[in-house]
Amino acid sequence: MVIVVGGYASGKRTYVKSLGYEDVDMSDGVLDERPVLLNLQDLIAAASGDVQPEALAQSVADKEVVTCCEIGNGIVPLDPGERAWREQVGRTLNILSERADRVVRMVCGIPVTLK
C-alpha cells in the first residue's frame, strides 16, 4: 500500500495519477472495489465515532493507495467529536503507515518520501 498525506490541495491526487491511476480508479471518502481511496479523513468522519483505529485500518487494508488530509496541525478543536475524529484519523494513519510499503507527504506538489 502507498499512503499519501498532505494538506488540502497539496497535490495528492495529481501524485496518485503519476503512479498510473486514473480518476475512475479512485473512490472519494467511500469504500468500494476501486483500488484508490481518497480522503480517508472523510471516511472516518462518516464512520461511527467509537470505531477503533485498528478496525478502520482493517477496513481499507485491501486498497493499493490511500490518501488523507493532514488534519492534526491546528488548534485542538473545542468540540469533543471533532477532537475524537482528529485522533482517530491520526492513529489510523499511524497503523496504516507502519504496514505500508511507501508513505509520501505532499508539500506544494512535491512528494516527500517518509518511508
Lookup result for grid cell 477532537:
83
51 touches another protein by CB under 8 A:
no
Beta carbons within 10 angstroms of residue 23's beta carbon = 11
Output 26 or 93, the one with its CB closest to another protein.
Answer: 93
Q: 13: which residues sit within 8 A by CB, 6+ positions away?
A: 26, 38, 67
- Please report whether residue 115 would count as binding another protein according to CB under 8 A: yes
> By CB under 8 A, is residue 31 in contact with another protein?
no
The conformation of residue 85, written as its DSSP 8-state character, comes to: H
Q: Which residues bind another protein (CB under 8 A)?
A: 3, 5, 7, 68, 70-76, 80, 83, 86-87, 89-91, 93-98, 103, 105, 112, 114-115
